Structure 1
C-alpha cells in the first residue's frame, strides 16, 4: 500500500512512483502529482498594507452568471466567487504548487483510488457555522448525478463514493486510480458551500468561507464584497472592500483605468500597451501562463466533419503573421496541440502546421472539393485581437481557395450564445493544472466543454489509460499518442499561447502572481493590497 502525505502550505516532493516526468524543465518540489510550475512569475517589492478598496474591471461577465458553482464559466465568477467568497479543499500557489486550504493535509492509498482529506480546524462560514465534512461532501455531490452539466463533470465523474469519518475527515473512493486527484480539488467549480438539511448546498445565499462576504450581485454587471474579519488565513485579506465590474468593451475598459474609475483591468489590448507604459501612474503585469487562443471547428458538423477540411484549414492560417501583426510578437506559435510546452507530459507533435496554401488546396482537391466556404464566429471578448486575427485568417485562407466569412458576434452573451453552439468559433482557453484535466474537460467524448465536438473512442481510451498509469515513462508515451492524435485529427486550430497581461494602477501592490488561472489564480482580491492605504 502506497500512501502520499502532503501537509498544507508546504512545497512537497511527490513520493516514489508518483514523481512527474522531466519535460522541458525539471518538475520537482514545486509540483504535486504532475502539476505545472510556472517560471518567470511577476513580482512587486512593497510590503502589504491593510485597508482600502479594490476595483477590478473584467471583460467577460454574463447576464447568465449565477452563484451556482456548477455553472461558473467566466473569469468574473471565478475571481469574485471562487477566489473571494469561497475556498476549495486545496489551493494553487503562485508558483503552481499545491497547498492546503480548507484541507490541512491529504493522503492517497490503494493505487491512488482512495484519498483522505483532513479538514482544517476552526474554519467558519460567513454566518458563523463551522465547516464540516458534510459541507464538503454535499458540495461535491452538487456536481454529480444524472443530468449534471457542471463544468466540473470531468472531475467528479471519477468519484465512486464520498464518505465522512468523524468531524474532520472526508474520504473519496475513485472508480480508478488517479495520481492527480488532489490537484483536481483546486478546480474553481469545486468551491465549498454550506450543506442544507436533507441534502444539497446553500449556494443561493452566497455564504462561503472566503476572504470576503457578499454585499450585492448584479449578473453581468457587478459584484460587491466586504472583508471577512474571521477569515481562517492570518493577516488576509488586505482590502476592506472589493468591487468587480464588467466592462466588455476594450476601449471603455482602458478608459475606466485611465480615469481612475477602476484600479485593475483584465486583458489589456496589446495595441494599448505603449500608452499604459507611458503613464507613470500605471503599470503592466505580465504573467506566464498555459493560456491558448484558438479557432475551434466542431468535428461533428459539416464541413468540419471532413478530416480533409480540418487539415486544410490548419494549413491555411499564417500564425506567424497573426502573432506579428495582432499580438506584436507577444505570443508563441501554436501547433494544434492544446498542451503548453511547460506542462508535465507535454509532447512535441510533428509536423509544425506551417502556412502552406498550396498544400491546403491540394488536400481539398484530393478529397474532391473545389474550395470550401466556412463561417467563423468571433468577438473581441473571445480573446483580445480575435476579430483582427480572423480578418488576417480570411486573407490567408483565400490563397488556398477557402472562403472564410467572418461573423462578428456581440460581445455580450458570446459565451452563452456562441461558444459550444456555433460550429466554428474563436475561443480562449486557460489551460488546466494537469494534462489529464485539460483533455478530460475539453477533448474526450464526454467532456463538458468539448467545443470541437471531437469524439474518438481511441483517444478516450488513451486518456483513461494514462490517468491510472503509475509508471511515468509509460504515462508520458500514452499522453504523447493522445496529443499527436489531437494534432492530426482534432478540430482545434491553436493560434497562439500567450501570457496574462493585466494593467493596473501603481497603487495596487502584489507579490508573485500565479498564471494557471487568470487574476492571480483567481486569488487577487485575497492576496493583493493598496500601497496607498
Structure 2
C-alpha cells in the first residue's frame, strides 16, 4: 500500500491531485451514465444524516461516500488526498496545521462553502462530554482559527504528524453552517450526489449533480440507489437475479461459491479488518488476567482462517494495528494454540470452558459451530472492526471499543508518545513496543484479520486499485466505479 511520506504530508497535501492516487488505470476510460443499485446492510429506521450516528455501512456509503464530503480523503491506494481541503501545511512541530479550503464549492441548496461550515461541523464532535464516535480523534484539538473564508488553522495540544488523516473519518462530514439541523434532515451536502428520496432503514435514491468541483473524474453514474437488506442470502439472490448491481458483506462460503459463477465478479480487499474477542462484563476483576491468557492460547487461529474464513484472511497478533499499517510489526509471532494451557488457566477459577455464544459477524454469518470447533469455547463476546489506515487512529478506536476493560496505563503512555513523535525510526520503535505489550496484556484477543468480500455484476467496472480500509472501495463505490 502506498503512503505519502510524512515530509510531503507536513508541507503541502501532496497527494491532492495525483492521478496515481486515484487508483485508476492510465488506460481506463470510465463511461458516464446509467444507474447503480447496491444491496447492503446496516440501515435502521432511526437513520438520519447526523454523522454522529453513522455506524452502519448503509449510511457510510450514503453520506461520506455520496452526498457529503470530508476535508480529506483516503485514496484507493491508502494515500491521503484533499477533498474540501485543497492543501495543508504544518508548523515544524506538527502542532499547528494551516488548511486551505477549496473555492467555488457549493452545497446542494446553493449555499457557498467556507470556513464557518468547517468550524460548526467539527464542533459537533468536540467537548469533554461529547459522545460522538469521532470525539476521541478531535480531543487533542485545542482550537480552530478562521484565518479567511477559505483558510483555517487547527491548533493541537501536542504534535501529530498524521493529523490530516483523521479529517477523513466518515463521521467528520461537512454541513452548511447556520442550518446544520436542516441539513441532517434533508441531506444537504457538497457531495457528487444529491438526495432525491430517502426512506430511513430502507432506501436512498440520489442523483448526480450537474456541476461539481471534482469535475468528470468521479461520480460516473447518473443516479444511485441503495437498498437495505440485512439477510446475506437475500442480497446474493438480488444480485444473481439482476435486481441490483452490487452486494456487500459476503460470507466466506458465498464468496467461495461466487468464484464459479460467471455472472458475477468477486471483489476481495485485504485490509486491516479484524475479528475481536473480549471477556464479558460479568467477569470478576480477579479472573480477568488468567481468562485473557486462556483466551489467547485457546484459539486455533490458523483453524479460524482455514475453516471459518475459508482462506479469506490472515492470522493476527492480538493488536488492532494491521498489515496495511506502516508500523505493523510483522516479526511478532501470534500466540501458540495450546488447549492444555488454556484449560489450566480456566480451572484455576473453576471453569471448564469459554463460550462465544451466538456468532453474528459480517465476515461470516453462517457457521458458528466452525468457530467453536477451533478451540474458542457466555464468557466471550465477539466483535469486528474495519481497522484504520494509521496506527493512532486504530488505537484510539480500539480504546473506545475496549470500554471498561481499558488499556494498560503503560500502553496509553506509549500511544501518546508515538502520536507526537516526529522521528520515523523512533516512532516505529514505539509502535512496535505497543504491539508487544498489547499482545501480552491487551483487553481483547484479535486472532484473525478478515478480508472485505463483496460482489458485482460483470457489467460493473472498477479502477485497477480499490480501497481496502472499508468494504465497497472504502465505501466510495458510488463515486469511483462505472458501468461498462
TM value normalised by structure 2 = 0.90
Tell me if 1:440 matches 2:396. Answer: yes
Partner of 1:471: 423
Task: Decide whether the 8 Å contact of 1:300 with 1:453 is kept in 2.
Answer: no
Alignment deviations for residues 471-517 of structure 1 (CA, whole Å, 9 cap, x no partner): 22222222222212221112322232122222100111111211112
Aligned with 2:194 (options 203, 213, 230): 213
Partner of 2:7: 15
- Measure how far apart 1:299 and its partner are: 7.1
Partner of 1:55: 37
Structure 2 stretches of 5 or more lacking a match? none
Partner of 2:337: 355
SS in 2 for 1:91: strand
Task: Decide whether the 8 Å contact of 1:115 with 1:173 is kept in 2.
Answer: yes
- Measure how far apart 1:53 and its partner are: 0.9
Partner of 2:372: 394
- Measure how far apart 1:335 and its partner are: 2.0
Tell me if 1:521 matches 2:474. Answer: yes
Q: Pick closer, same or farther for the CA change 1:373–1:175 going to 2, 3 Å.
A: same
Partner of 1:244: 226
Task: Decide whether the 8 Å contact of 1:378 with 1:387 is kept in 2.
Answer: no
C-alpha distance in 1 between matches for 2:236 and 2:123: 41
Alignment deviations for residues 156-198 of structure 1 (CA, whole Å, 9 cap, x no partner): 111100111122101110111101001111111111110117x
Please list, as runs of the form range in 1=range in 2, the aligned pairs for 1:32-47 lying within 5 A after superposition. Answer: 47=29
- Measure how far apart 1:91 and its partner are: 1.2
Task: Decide whether the 8 Å contact of 1:337 with 1:349 is kept in 2.
Answer: no
Q: Pick closer, same or farther for the CA change 1:195–1:42 going to 2, 3 Å.
A: closer
More moved, 259-268 vs 284-293: 284-293
- Measure how far apart 1:220 and its partner are: 2.3
Partner of 2:274: 292
Partner of 1:273: 255
RMSD of aligned residue pairs (Cα, Å)? 2.8
More moved, 494-503 vs 86-95: 494-503
Partner of 1:410: none
Tell me if 1:457 matches 2:432. Answer: no
SS in 2 for 1:15: helix
- Measure how far apart 1:379 and its partner are: 4.2
Task: Decide whether the 8 Å contact of 1:347 with 1:480 is kept in 2.
Answer: yes
Q: Work out the number of aligned pairs and report it.
A: 475
- Measure how far apart 1:462 and its partner are: 1.0
C-alpha distance in 2 between matches for 1:209 and 1:17: 25
Q: Pick closer, same or farther for the CA change 1:214–1:200 going to 2, 3 Å.
A: closer
Q: Pick closer, same or farther for the CA change 1:360–1:452 going to 2, 3 Å.
A: farther
SS in 2 for 1:376: coil
Q: Pick closer, same or farther for the CA change 1:361–1:440 going to 2, 3 Å.
A: same
Task: Decide whether the 8 Å contact of 1:59 with 1:246 is kept in 2.
Answer: yes
Partner of 2:364: 385
SS in 2 for 1:306: helix
C-alpha distance in 1 between matches for 2:304 and 2:92: 49
C-alpha distance in 2 between matches for 1:43 and 1:269: 29
Partner of 1:90: 72
- Measure how far apart 1:135 and its partner are: 0.1
Partner of 2:387: 431
Tell me if 1:232 matches 2:241. Answer: no
SS in 2 for 1:81: helix
- Measure how far apart 1:200 and its partner are: 7.5
- Measure how far apart 1:269 and its partner are: 2.1
Task: Decide whether the 8 Å contact of 1:297 with 1:425 is kept in 2.
Answer: yes
Task: Decide whether the 8 Å contact of 1:466 with 1:478 is kept in 2.
Answer: yes
C-alpha distance in 2 between matches for 1:239 and 1:184: 28
C-alpha distance in 2 between matches for 1:461 and 1:270: 38
Q: Pick closer, same or farther for the CA change 1:17–1:498 going to 2, 3 Å.
A: closer
Task: Decide whether the 8 Å contact of 2:346 with 2:353 is kept in 1.
Answer: no
- Measure how far apart 1:120 and its partner are: 0.8
C-alpha distance in 1 between matches for 2:273 and 2:3: 24
SS in 2 for 1:155: helix
- Measure how far apart 1:349 and its partner are: 7.1
C-alpha distance in 2 between matches for 1:283 and 1:397: 34
C-alpha distance in 2 between matches for 1:53 and 1:336: 42
More moved, 114-123 vs 493-502: 493-502
Q: Pick closer, same or farther for the CA change 1:304–1:93 going to 2, 3 Å.
A: farther
Partner of 1:23: none
Task: Decide whether the 8 Å contact of 2:343 with 2:353 is kept in 1.
Answer: no
Q: Pick closer, same or farther for the CA change 1:358–1:345 going to 2, 3 Å.
A: same
Partner of 2:346: 364
- Measure how far apart 1:42 and its partner are: 9.9
Partner of 1:508: 460
C-alpha distance in 1 between matches for 2:169 and 2:206: 22
User: Between Structure 1 and Structure 2, which shows a larger proportion of helix residues?
Assistant: 2
- Measure how far apart 1:125 and its partner are: 0.3
SS in 1 for 2:59: helix
Aligned with 1:163 (options 139, 145, 148): 145
